[in-house]
Amino acid sequence: MTYSEEFFTSREKVTEASANKVFDVIWSYFQAESVLDVGCATGIWLCEAQKKGVSKVYGIDGPWVPVEHLKIEQDDFWTKDIVDILNQKVSLDSKFDMTICIELAEHLPENKSDDLIEFLTNPTDVVLFSAAVKGQGGTGHVNENTQSYWQKKFDNAGFDAFDVVRPEIWTSPEVNMIYKQNMIVYARRSSAAHSTFSKTHVAISDEYSLNRVYPELLEKRSRALDKLVAKKLKNRFKKYFS
């Protein structure tokens, strides 16, 4: 899972705008003082959290992240491959008001899914989670799965799913469409945060509510497949008539 410097630079602006909008939604329910980001890349989400008043941030990602491009202090960043962390059964001593894990899970082997959820949930009562769905496509994706798949994993860990973010960002042009499709908030049952979300939302577990597909993302993927099919047919006909 290696990315170029151009990758990190190109995604900054849209990620900043997306994080700003998403945090506005979540902070309308509760204000986190500490945030952990697992798979944080250069720490854009954590940087935006700090701008919103979060005093303690900590990010984890692999050695492919160029530290010179970090948006957070280097002392708040742990250079460590997430797969190695899961293999070694590492646990964090610190607790956080919220853990975020955004478009990371699809990069990890499926046999590490349960370990990932355990690592995300152990230090917190709230997880902001977004992961690529089947067919979404992307660099290094090895475990694209449905939101209902991940909901079952969180449910086994004692967390309920709340669809508090997607309805609020669905029509926001500044937000990356993958977050509009994939972003779910999970809260530990019996926690204060769970009570807060439950005042205005019902925890969801049905596939109809969880497995939404954002139309523009579906169209984009469909166009890419159409081009691929057309190219293959062209090559096949070319070979046939040559």
For tokens 């925890």, name the residue.
203
Residue 159 binned pLDDT confidence (cut-offs 50, 70, 90): very high
Q: Which two tokens stand for residue 19?
A: 């994080």
pLDDT tens by residue, 102-147: 999 999 999 999 999 999 999 999 999 999 988 787 788 999 999 9
Q: What does the pLDDT average to over 24-36?
A: 97
R_g over Cα of the chain: 19
Q: What does the pLDDT average to over 195-209?
A: 96
Pairing assessment for the beta strands 159-162 and 183-188 based on DSSP bridges:
antiparallel
pTM over 0.75: yes
Residue 215 binned pLDDT confidence (cut-offs 50, 70, 90): low
pLDDT at 238: 54
pLDDT at 11: 73
Q: Where are the beta strands (DSSP E) in the chain?
A: 34-38, 56-61, 77-79, 98-102, 126-130, 159-162, 183-188
Residue ranges covered by each domain of the chain: 5-211, 213-242
pLDDT tens by residue, 46-91: 999 999 999 999 999 999 999 999 999 999 999 999 999 999 999 9
More confident residue, 19 or 138: 19
Calpha distance 172→56 (Å, rounded)? 28
For tokens 């960002």, name the residue.
169
pLDDT at 242: 55
100: left (phi over 0), alpha (psi -120 to 50) or beta: beta
Q: Are 38 and 17 in contact (CB under 8 A)?
A: no
pLDDT at 212: 83
Residue 95 binned pLDDT confidence (cut-offs 50, 70, 90): very high
Strand order, beta sheet including 159-162: 77-79, 56-61, 34-38, 98-102, 126-130, 183-188, 159-162
Residue 241 reports pLDDT greater than 60 = no
Measured CA to CA in angstroms, residue 91 lies from 35, 85, 193, 235 at distances of 16, 8, 22, 52
Mean pLDDT of the chain: 89
Residue 228 reports pLDDT greater than 80 = no
Could you tell me the CATH superfamily of domain 5-211? Vaccinia Virus protein VP39 (3.40.50.150)
The number of residues in the chain equals: 242
Calpha distance 65→76 (Å, rounded)? 14
Q: Are 38 and 104 in contact (CB under 8 A)?
A: yes
Which of 9-13, 152-156, 172-176 has the highest average model confidence (pLDDT)?
A: 152-156
pLDDT tens by residue, 162-191: 999 999 999 999 999 999 999 999 999 999
